[in-house]
Amino acid sequence: MEFSESVYERFNKYLSSYLIQGWKQDKFYIKSVEVESKKMVVLVDIHESYLPYLSSLPAIPLLYQFGIFFSCWESGFSEKTGDIYLRSLDIETPRMIQKTEDIKFELNLVKKRKLKEWFFYIVDFNIDDNAFTGKMQYAVPLPKIVD
């Protein structure tokens, strides 16, 4: 993130060091992925992080990636068909996740609908036994048909 001089002078005491430089240091290790017909469970370790805990900020891109894993596997795609189009994300964070190993992400399929060029998904998620919970609504592009 960069700022004009006047903005920096006015707001620099409010800047988040994590957003300025910390998020670039996060390194996650996907330890295991278990997939059933309507459920995915992923175990994640944090190998490097600017923060000594998992906050919602780095958890969200992990949810996006796991949404891609789940929808591609569930739909039988042989490869990723494109990036997901996030329609909405509701997240509650009733407690912090203080550990760096065996952080469990659970995704449960609520609804799937086929549209003209997309599969639309509604998925409930639960991170680390209800530390973070919520719902994602997103679309995944269907594979392109090559003649």
When mean pLDDT is compared across 30-34, 37-41, 121-125, 140-144, the lowest value belongs to 140-144
Residues 12, 18, 19, 20: is their CA dihedral positive or negative? Answer: positive
Distance between CA atoms of 59 and 87, rounded to whole angstroms?
Answer: 17
pLDDT in tens, 3-29: 789 888 887 877 777 667 666 678 899
DSSP class of residue 145?
P
| pLDDT tens-digit readout, 80-135 | 888 889 999 999 999 999 999 999 999 999 999 999 999 999 999 999 999 999 99
Query: Where exactly are the structural domains of the chain?
Result: 25-141
> For domain 25-141, which CATH number applies: 3.60.20.10, 3.10.129.10, 3.40.50.970, 3.40.47.10?
3.10.129.10
The HSE-up count of residue 40 (CA atoms within 13 Å, CB side) is 22
Q: What is the pTM of this model?
A: 0.86
Angle made by CA atoms 137, 89, 92, in degrees to the nearest 5: 130
Amino acid at 79: E
CA-nearest of 46, 50, 48, 54 to 21 is: 50
